Amino acid sequence: MEANIRVFMLMAALTALVMVLGWMLGGGGGAVLALLIAGGMNFFAYWNSDKMVLRQQGAVELSPNQGAELYALTADLARRADMPMPKLYLLPTEQPNAFATGRNPENAAVAVTQGLLRMLNRDEIAGVIAHELAHIKHRDTLTMTVTATMAGAIAMMGNMMLFAGGRDGRGGGIGAILAMILAPLAAAMVQMAISRTREYEADATGAAICGQPRALASALQRISAAAGRSVNVPAEKNPAAAAMFIINPLHALRADRLFATHPPTEERIARLMALEGRAAPVRPTTSSRIPRAGRNDPWSRG
């Protein structure tokens, strides 16, 4: 509840910042127009953001026959979470990682990388999938889409201030320059704060869904270590999607906490280990690892 209140307040701050910039550009009418433009951008993102990000990341949709065991594992976790089965996608990169997208639980997708299936065991993969299902269940994918869209609108309006701010007395030239620099900076800080808050919640809910906090903690540790020494090419080309992944995929980017897209991995692991012993054990499985893509596996064919 406290996290939800914090997210609401941060999104209200983004909305207020949009209206302030609109007012600086065009008075009361400009504030209303800015709010309408941001709303239109959010409407477009609501319907199209999942398709856009999956296409940008080079995701390939998996059929039940192509990923039978992964499908069975995800379906079981979705039942435990009391939510619909999402679509599954494979990302053609060897960096272990995953993300969820979609406007609601009925229209959602979970994407995992080839590296995740190769490097993690079954329990760890279950923890990662459960984490992504938690994002879907909490509608974090929609929240992050809205915040990213509004942050983009603020950055655009901040640039417009350089040309319009000095002509009508609302801030003058210096005010315009400050708005151009500080407004996008503030928007990025709010966006990252929301992202960090949602990761903690998804970790806790994901641990409850899969029943093994330790497995999710182990997965986070292994993914974080691999992300620091490998390159996720699609993510490097489209860094705006970095906040969607379970661990920041940008191996070259190590921002401080104020601008970090994710909480420190060590803190996430510590919180998960504090939950150990309070979660119900996951049912026994027949295999400790999801099969790798092999010569006869459809995943390995272009």
Question: Which residues carry out catalysis?
Answer: 132
* 161/165 Cα distance (integer angstroms): 5
| Chain centre to alpha carbon of residue 202 | 11
Contact 34, 160 (CB under 8 A): no
- d(CA 123, CA 34) in angstroms, rounded, equals 47
Tokens representing residue 140 in the block: 């974090």
| Sequence-distant (≥ 6) Cβ neighbours of residue 57 within 8 angstroms | 91, 111, 234, 235, 238, 241
CB 230 within 8 A of CB 95: yes
Beta bridge partners of 104: 107
Separation between Cα atoms, residue 261 and residue 195, nearest integer Å: 6
In our burial notation (b when 16+ CB lie closer than 10 A, e otherwise), range 145-161 reads bbbbbbbbbbbebbebb
Distant-in-sequence, close-in-space partners of 13: CB < 8 Å, separation ≥ 6: 190
The tokens of 44 are what?
């477009």
Q: What is the dihedral of CA 112, 131, 265, 69, to 10 degrees?
A: -40
* Count of alpha carbons within 13 angstroms of residue 174, beta-carbon side: 0
CA distance 58 to 223: 20
